[in-house]
Chains A and B, each alone.
Chain A
Amino acid sequence: MNMMQTISAPTPLIEISRLSKRYSRGETVVPIFDDLSLSIPCGRFVALMGPSGSGKTTLLNMLAGIDRPSGGMLSIDGERIDRYGEAALAGWRARTLGFIFQFYNLMPMLTAAQNVELPLLLQPMGASERRRRVETALDVVGLADRMKHRPRELSGGQQQRVAIARALVADPKLILADEPTGDLDRPSADRVLEILRLLSSELGKTIVMVTHDPVAARAADLTLHLEKGRFVDEAIAA
C-alpha cells in the first residue's frame, strides 16, 4: 500500500490513501469516491464542505469507523482501522473518538450529566473521577448549572452543547461533527462554533466538521471542498 507523503506537517492524526467507497443497489454499483487521499495533522480544525450528496457524511462515517471503506487505507492515530473488526472498532471509538450529530441524539430518559457520563462507562474509572470529568466537560460548554436537566428541558443549542460535552468527556484525540450547527439559530450556532474553536486551540483536539454554512467553515483552520467524490482544493495537505 502506497502511503501518501505529507510535506512539512507535524505527525498526521488522520491519513487516508486511495480510499474508495461504493454502494451496490441491487445490480448497479454506485461509486461515492474511488481514489481519495488526505492527511490531517494533529490539532487541526478542518471544515468539510460540498454539495449535498457529495459524500461528506460517508467520509465522516468512515473516519469514525462506523462505515467501512470499499478499498484503500485509513489510518487514525497510527491505527489501521480499515483492518479492524467490529469489536476492535468499538474499543477504538471509545478510546479515540468523540462524535457530534446534527440532531444532538441525547438519551431522552437521562439527565444532561448522565448523557455526558455515558462514554465514561466504557473507561476503567471510579465514580468520583467520572463525576469530576462530567462537571469539567459541562463547565467547558457553559452548562454546569444544567446537570440535572433532561434533554426536553433544554433548548436545541443547549442540547448540542451537552452533546459536545459528551464528545469531549473521555478526552479523545479526534472529534468528528456532522453539521453540528445545521439545526441551530445563528446565536446558538455561534456559541457551538466558539466551543469547537476552543477545543481545538486550547485542548489541541483534532476536529473534522461537516458543514453547509460558510460562516461555520470560517471557524475552522482549513476548509476542504468535496465534489463528485474528489477534493477540489489546490493544496489539500496544507
Chain B
Amino acid sequence: MRMSTLVARNALRNPVRLVLMVACIAIAFLIFGVLSAVGAAFRMEDQPGAHERVMIVNRNGLQQTLPIAYLADIRQQPNVAAATPVRLAIAYWREPKDVLSAVMVDPAIYLTLSEDSAVVSAEDRARFVATRDGLLVGQALATRNGWKRGDLVTLQSLNDLRTDGTRSWSFRVAGIYRAAKPGGPELAVAGHYDYFNDALLTGRDRANWIMVQGRDVTANDAMARAIDASYANSAAATRTQSEAALGRAFLSQIGDVVLIIRLVVGAAFLVILCIVGNTLIFMVGERTREIGVLKTLGFSGGRVARIVVGEVALITLAGAAVGMSLALLIVTAVASATKDMLPGLAIGPTTLGIAALLAGGLVLLTGLLPVVKAARLDIVTALGRV
C-alpha cells in the first residue's frame, strides 16, 4: 500500500457522491471547453491578407452608409491601388430562414481584392465581370441549393425595395468560388453594385463600406489618416481601418461575445466552487475521527493535508478530464458540421492549457478550507470523549 492507495480508497468510499462531484466539475469544464471553442472561432479574423486590406466605413457606426461619390475621390489617393464599394444586401432564396449575405461590388476589383481568400477560375472571373446580373456563389452554397452556372435565381431582399415595388432580385449564376483555405467560408454571394443600385427605390448611391488595397502596406496608416482627414467635416465622416479591426467592430455590435463567454464560464465555476468546496468541508467533518486516529498513529498535520489535497486533486482532475473530453467530442462533431459558417471552431492547446490552470486553481480554492481544517484538527477533540 502507498499513500496514493489511501487517497484513492478514500475517494471511492462514497461512489454516489464521487460521481456527483465529478459530474459537477465535468459540466463546468464542458461549458468552458465548448464556449472557448466558440470564442476562438469568433476571434479568428486574421485570414491571409486581412491586414493589407483597408476598410472605410461611416464614422457614426456600421448602420450608417457612405455616399458612392467618395469612391472616385478615394481612387485618386496616391497609395490606393484599387477600391470597390461594398453594399450589403440581406436576402434569402425560397426559405426566409436561410438568410444569405450578399455583397454588391465592383466585380473586377472585388475579384482582385479577394484573391487570397477566394479561388475563382479565369473563365468564371470573366463571365462574372461580363454578366451585368451575374452572381458569384460560394461552392458550399451552390452545392446546398443545387445551383449551377447559368441558372437564374431569384433572391428576396429583406430591407431593399425595388423601383417596381417588389423585393425580388433575379441573378444569373456566373461563377463559383472556393475558399482558399480548406474549410473556409463558402456561403456568400456577390453581385454587381451597378445592377443592384440602378433598381433600388431608396438608399440609392450608398455603400456600407469601401474596400481598399494599398500600393504599399506600410503606407496604409498614413493613407487612412489622409482619407479620414479629407472627410472630417463632411456629412458622412469616415473611419478607415484594417479589415481585422472592422471585424472586431462588427462583433461588438452583436455584443461582446468574448465577455459573455467569460461571464458564463465564470458563473459556472463559481457555482461548482461553492458546491464542491462545501462538499469537501462536509467530507472532512465526517472523517474527523479518522483524521484523529491517523494523527495518533504519527501522521503529521502536513501529511494529513497532503492526503486530503490528493483526494481533492483526484476528484477535480477526473472531472476536468471528463469535461474536456466531452467538450472535444462535441466541438469536433459540431465543427465538421458547421465548418463553412464557423471556421476555426476548435479546442486548441491554449484552451487545454487554460483548462489545466483552471483545474489547478479549483484544487487550491476548494481544497484550501478542508485542508486547513484537517491539518489543524486537534486530536483529542477529533477522537471525541467516550
Interface, chain A (partner B; CB < 8 A): 57, 61, 64, 66-67, 86-87, 90-95, 97, 99, 101-103, 105, 107-110, 114, 117-119, 121-122, 130, 166, 178-179
Q: Using an 8 Å CB-CB cutoff, how does the interface string of B138-177 with A read, 1 for contact, 0 for none?
A: 0000000000000000000000000000000000000000
Residues of A within 8 A of B290 (CB): 105, 107
Nearest 4 CB-CB pairings of A with B: A94-B298, A90-B300, A93-B298, A66-B379
Q: Given A57-B385, A66-B380, A107-B290, are A118 and B300 also a contact pair (CB < 8 Å)?
A: no
Chain B residue nearest to A134 (CB atoms) is: B1
Distance (whole angstroms) from the CB of B261 to the closest CB of chain A = 41
Partner among A86, A109, A117, A121 whose Cβ is within 8 Å of the Cβ of B12: A109
Q: Given A66-B379, A114-B1, A117-B1, are A109 and B297 also a contact pair (CB < 8 Å)?
A: no
Interface, chain B (partner A; CB < 8 A): 1-3, 5-6, 9-10, 12-13, 289-290, 293-303, 379-380, 383, 385-386
| Inter-subunit contact B300/A121 (CB<8 Å) | no
| Inter-subunit contact B297/A122 (CB<8 Å) | yes
| Inter-subunit contact A121/B302 (CB<8 Å) | no
| Inter-subunit contact B298/A101 (CB<8 Å) | no
Known: A119-B297, A121-B2. 13 other contacts (CB 8 A): A61-B380, A90-B300, A90-B303, A93-B297, A94-B299, A95-B298, A107-B293, A114-B5, A114-B9, A119-B298, A121-B6, A122-B299, A166-B297
| Inter-subunit contact B298/A109 (CB<8 Å) | no
CA distance A93 to B298 in the complex (A): 5
| Inter-subunit contact B380/A67 (CB<8 Å) | yes
Residues of B within 8 A of A66 (CB): 295-296, 379-380, 383
| Inter-subunit contact B299/A90 (CB<8 Å) | yes
CA distance A108 to B293 in the complex (A): 12
| Inter-subunit contact A121/B1 (CB<8 Å) | yes
| Inter-subunit contact A64/B9 (CB<8 Å) | no
Q: List 14 A-B contacts (CB under 8 A).
A: A57-B385, A61-B379, A64-B296, A66-B295, A66-B380, A86-B300, A90-B298, A90-B299, A90-B303, A91-B298, A92-B298, A95-B298, A102-B386, A122-B299
Chain A residue nearest to B382 (CB atoms) is: A66
Residues of A within 8 A of B302 (CB): 87
Most chain A beta-carbon contacts within 10 A, residue among B10, B297, B300, B302: B297
CA distance A102 to B383 in the complex (A): 11
Residues of A within 8 A of B383 (CB): 66, 101, 105
CA distance A94 to B295 in the complex (A): 9
Residues of A within 8 A of B295 (CB): 66, 90
| Inter-subunit contact A118/B5 (CB<8 Å) | no
CA distance A90 to B383 in the complex (A): 16
| Inter-subunit contact A99/B10 (CB<8 Å) | no
Distance (whole angstroms) from the CB of A203 to the closest CB of chain B = 19
Residues of B within 8 A of A109 (CB): 9-10, 12-13
Residues of B within 8 A of A94 (CB): 297-299
Residues of A within 8 A of B297 (CB): 93-94, 99, 118-119, 122, 166
